[in-house]
Homo-oligomer: A and B are copies of this chain.
Amino acid sequence: MDRIFQALADPTRRAIIKRLTVAPQRVTDLAEPFDMSLNAVSKHLKTLEKAELIDRDNRGRTSICSLRTEPLQNVQEWLDQYAHFWGSNLDAFSRHMEQASHTDGIAKADNTKDGDDHE
């Protein structure tokens, strides 16, 4: 749990996660949008990997990263532990109804909220 929350505590890493929800990607592609060295991104990916937030498929000289679901489920379970404490207004059921409106596979260009940079 420490490693998961720690991994999520960095904006670069959250941005990487966000990108990975669209599609698995190579290290170079993931690094491209950031104003930092490739090495720095490589290290971030290692952090994400240790937290088991990403998986890697080494295809020859490239390493393709993809999102893993387990850690996010762990976070959800941790949160649910306290659901009774803060639940109510946007509770699990509301979320279910919200979620039911897009049961398709991948990112439905969800611009219903605040455009793009929801982090």
Contact = CB atoms under 8 A, between A and B. Distances in A.
Contact of A84 (B17, B79, B99): B99
B99 A91 contact: yes
Contact of A80 (B1, B8, B93, B99): B99
Interface string A59-96: 00000000101001101111111111111001111011
B99 A83 contact: yes
Copies of chain A in the complex: 2
* Range class of the A interface residue count: 35 or more
A14 B5 CA distance: 11
B82 A72 contact: yes
A114 to B, nearest CB: 11
Given A21-B82, A67-B85, 9 more contacts: A1-B119, A9-B9, A72-B86, A76-B95, A77-B90, A81-B118, A84-B103, A92-B93, A96-B96
Top 9 A-B pairs, shortest CB-CB distance: A69-B86, A5-B9, A92-B96, A92-B95, A93-B96, A6-B9, A5-B8, A92-B92, A83-B99
